[in-house]
Amino acid sequence: MAAAGRSSRYLFGIGCCCLATLGWSLSGLFVRWVPGLDGWAVNGYRAPATSICLLIYLALRYRGELMRHLWPKQPQALLVVGLFFGVGSTLYVYALTMGTVASVSVLGAASSLSTRHSCVGVCRRMHSTAPANAFSARRARITSCPSA
């Protein structure tokens, strides 16, 4: 019984990933399709729609414990993540309005490669110094960085 439940959750996750990929790939078409809107107007509609959909999902997912999950122990982290997401979304829509959809798609797809590359460099600098004690040495071995 547990294997069947896990299998259906796995398939549901695969379906969600496919829907997200479809939505992400069609975003350029939607931005180009709406003729009278500039980047600010698109972001003005996109931000509340995203917030409402995310809030509905979280309310259904966590039911009575929504506020416990919504307000973390470190609220400044939530604010920083929100700021980066907002800036990234705004720049993405402006890139779609100012450049070709193909160029923006290629840059978006390649961003994970540059992130991984910079992560490897940061990890090497972090682990280049000798550990201060045995606990640090053990933690350095457990949290080893991906190879370049």
Model confidence over 116-135: pLDDT tens digits? 666 666 566 555 554 454 44
Q: Where are the domains of the chain?
A: 1-33, 38-99, 100-148
What is the C-alpha to C-alpha distance for residues 81 and 134, in angstroms, rounded to an integer?
A: 34
Which token pair is 5? 């439940």
Q: DSSP H helical segments within 63-100, as ranges?
A: 66-70, 75-98
Model confidence over 38-93: pLDDT tens digits? 778 888 888 888 889 888 988 898 888 888 877 777 778 888 888 888 888 888 88
What is the reported pLDDT for 79? 85
What is the reported pLDDT for 142? 47
Question: Mutual orientation of helices 75-98 and 2-33 as an angle, nearest 10°?
Answer: 50
Model confidence over 44-53: pLDDT tens digits? 888 888 889 8
Which token pair is 4? 């069947």
Model confidence over 21-39: pLDDT tens digits? 888 778 888 877 877 777 7
What's the maximum distance between 2 C-alpha atoms anywhere in the chain? 63
What is the reported pLDDT for 2? 53
